[in-house]
Amino acid sequence: MVNNLSALRIGDLTIYPPILQGGMGVRISRSGLAAAVANEGCVGVIAGVGLGKFENLPRSEFEAVNNEALRAEIRKAKSMTKGVIGVNLMVALSNYESLVRTSVDENIDLIISGAGLPLELPKYVEKKNIKLIPVVSSVRALKIICDKWKRNFNKLPDAVIVEGSKAGGHIGYDFQDVFEGKAPSLDELIIEI
């Protein structure tokens, strides 16, 4: 079956089989899993949420500990593969900007960003060849991102991940609409986008 699939191209990256591993936090999508996935030709993804050890840690040290844990995971993954490694960073995190900057400093291949609209993401990447992939749940969200990125950074997303109402808890659907089946299906979203 894999032989019937086309490679996924995101800019100068070629991914085959065309699979992006999901960013599963807390401490699930780490370097070992990401490197193993990348070694198979797919995109290995490190989830940027909750990587550090926070037990008995003062809140003031949270950001630094999480950034260094992310840096260590990226370096470890890159030491284990020559494949494509990305990070999944949630906009809703209080330390989102610093996680993005850490990922950029480590020359990550791509940044997947959802749980909010990553409206300022291109600002942190500037001239680096890092692919930016927002996660959206509607045409409206994608349009807002594209308009802002084009206007402020002369940049458009390198790819887009579309998530429907069954994808999880970070997608912006009203609980009642999901519960009552009023949220659009993934098929409807893809056609619309």
Residue whose C-alpha is closest to residue 94's, from 68, 133, 59: 59
pLDDT at 54: 62
Cβ(103)–Cβ(112) below 8 Å: no
Q: In what order do the strands lie in the sheet with 43-47?
A: 43-47, 84-90, 110-114, 131-136, 161-162
Task: Please report how many Cα atoms fall inside a 13 Å half-sphere around the Cα of residue 41, on the Cβ side.
Answer: 11
Residue 147 lies in a domain: yes
Which pLDDT value is given to residue 97? 96
Q: How many domains does the chain have?
A: 1
**Residue 101 belongs to what domain range?**
2-162
Strands 8-10 and 43-47, by their bridges, are unpaired
Q: Identify which of 173, 99, 177, 109 has the alpha carbon closest to the alpha carbon of residue 136.
A: 173
With respect to residue 92, please indicate whether it lies within any of the assigned structural domains: yes
Residue 178 lies in a domain: no
- The answer to whether position 184 is within a domain reads no
Q: Is residue 118 part of a domain?
A: yes
3-state SS string for 117-181: CCCCHHHHHCCCCCEEEEEECCHHHHHHHHHHHHHHHCCCCCCCEECCCCCCCCCCCCHHHHHCC
Tens-binned pLDDT, residue by residue, of the chain (193 aa): 557 889 999 999 999 999 898 877 777 788 999 999 999 999 999 999 877 766 666 667 778 888 999 999 999 999 999 999 999 999 998 899 999 999 999 999 999 999 899 999 999 998 899 999 999 988 888 999 999 999 999 999 999 998 876 666 555 666 677 667 777 777 777 777 7
Predicted local distance difference test score (pLDDT) of residue 186: 72
- The enclosing domain of 128 has a CATH number of 3.20.20.70
The DSSP H or E segment spanning 99 is helix 96-105
**Is residue 132 in some structural domain?**
yes
